[in-house]
Amino acid sequence: LTGVLDDCLCDIESIDDFNTFKIFPKIQKLQERDYFRYYKVNLKRPCPFWADDGHCSIKDCHVEPCPESKIPVGIKAGSSNKYSKAANNSRELEDCEQANKLGAVNSTLSNQSKEAFIDWARYDDSQDHFCELDDERSPDAQYVDLLLNPERYTGYKGPSAWRVWNSIYEENCFKPRSVYRPLNPLAPSRGGLEFVCLFSWTGLCLEKRVFYKLISGLHASINLHLCANYLLEETWGKPRWGPNVKEFTRRFDPIETKGEGPRRLKNLYFLYLIELRALSKVAPYFERSVVDLYTGNGHEDAESKALLLDIFRDTK
């Protein structure tokens, strides 16, 4: 890829240089920190959308949970804000609480308003939940070490994987009227997967284009990870992982994808810029002394926050 990205004044080469020499090395170090390394999730929870077989198709793809004995005490404590005890006693927090009292919102409600809210709640309860979060307190929840479970090829493919992406694209309110991507792999076709006609932005405003690009960029990111870290050989000994050029070509080559592959990659760059902008916007929150990346290890926590702030400075 070369040249300027669509819908923004930034070129591919500048983004490559910035990421390679500024962001990527620091992000790698940050991922090794305990605060970002351990993640609690319920792996046994069934899919809420359709009956599905959650078992892996290859033995090397499953997620390996981490024993609680290895989890830092500060992370196990379950402090959602991850504030240290010292930070909680700081003058800055007291000032913040005082400001909240001075600017408190009048929370009294009329009976008419209360009745209206009950009707709203009834309506909300009758709808499908938009998003369900994992309950970290669930007895089935386990800690996962993300360094031991890198994003890579999982063997999850075919109709099940197609159904996930089809739902993501088709159930959005807006999308290009035509886009080159696989149709139902179960449908009979003359030669492998059927595809829709070539991509078109006809009739989409900037906001709708941006939304679609973000979803496409996420899709491209996941595809790139599985191509870059693919199970090349499954043996009785140690499995061999590495780049799969053939798979990458199938998903991104201009000829193989009828010109759509480069656009997918451009959407990934676009998503990257949006993420950098989000990081720069959230930076002031973390720059406050009261916020601590708390794991219980004071020295490591200080180093983690310093590294995070360094990344924020770069993004700005």
Binding-site residue numbers are 152, 154, 165, 216, 219, 251
| Cβ contacts of 199-203, under 8 Å, gap ≥ 24 | 199/259, 199/260, 199/263, 200/176, 201/176, 202/176, 202/177, 203/177
Binding site, annotated residues for FAD:
152, 154, 165, 216, 219, 251
The CA distance from 146 to 37, in Å, is: 5
C-alpha dihedral (47, 81, 311, 148), degrees to nearest 10: -40
Report the alpha-carbon distance of residue 153 to residue 227 in Å, rounded.
7
Place of tokens 């197609």: 162
Beta strands in the chain (DSSP E): 38-41, 65-66, 142-145, 230-233, 240-242
Distance CA 54, CA 62 (A): 10
